[in-house]
Amino acid sequence: MVVVHELKSEEEWRKAYSVMHQLRTHLDLKTYLELVAYACRHGGYRLFALYEGEKLVSVAGLMPMTTLYYGKFIWIGDLVTDERMRSKGYGSRLLDFIHTWAAGQGYSIVALSSGLQRKEAHRFYREKMGYDPVSYVFKNELG
């Protein structure tokens, strides 16, 4: 049975780390937990996990945002399926859940970014999930 749960406690965030670390390889457990806690308290970050039975298979972190470009929308900052479980429909099921959840919260737009090197993810977002590429994301590491 496949279910999605919101992860609200440090204990639950800890259980998602092994899957999230496949995407955010630069984060050790301590830093990951600190960032999730801070983002939840100060940025409205929400972490959702898709389970197949008892096994956590996919995880997504998202935040409600408002910009002049989109208005009110949901930004998916993190989305990953366990590498051993990819191409089995789990990512699309988690995104479908997020779309339904976002609409239920009054949002009409869900947006995300994906690293330039992640060609298979881009194909998934465009072809399977109906996302349109609309911009590049640029960053400047200060200092």
pLDDT in tens, the chain (143 residues): 999 999 999 999 999 999 999 999 999 999 999 999 999 999 999 999 999 999 999 999 999 999 999 999 999 999 999 999 999 999 999 999 999 999 999 999 999 999 888 999 999 999 999 999 998 888 888 98
CATH 3.40.630.30 for domain 2-128: yes
Strands across the sheet containing 46-52: 2-7, 46-52, 55-67, 71-81, 110-112
Question: Residue 48: which residues within 8 A CB-CB, separation 6 or more?
Answer: 4, 5, 6, 7, 59, 60, 61, 62, 94, 97, 98, 101
Q: How many residues does the chain have?
A: 143
91 by Cβ neighbours in 10 Å (0-12 / 13-18 / 19+) ranks as buried
Residue 63 has a CB neighbour count (10 Å cut-off) of 15
pTM for the predicted model, two decimal places: 0.93
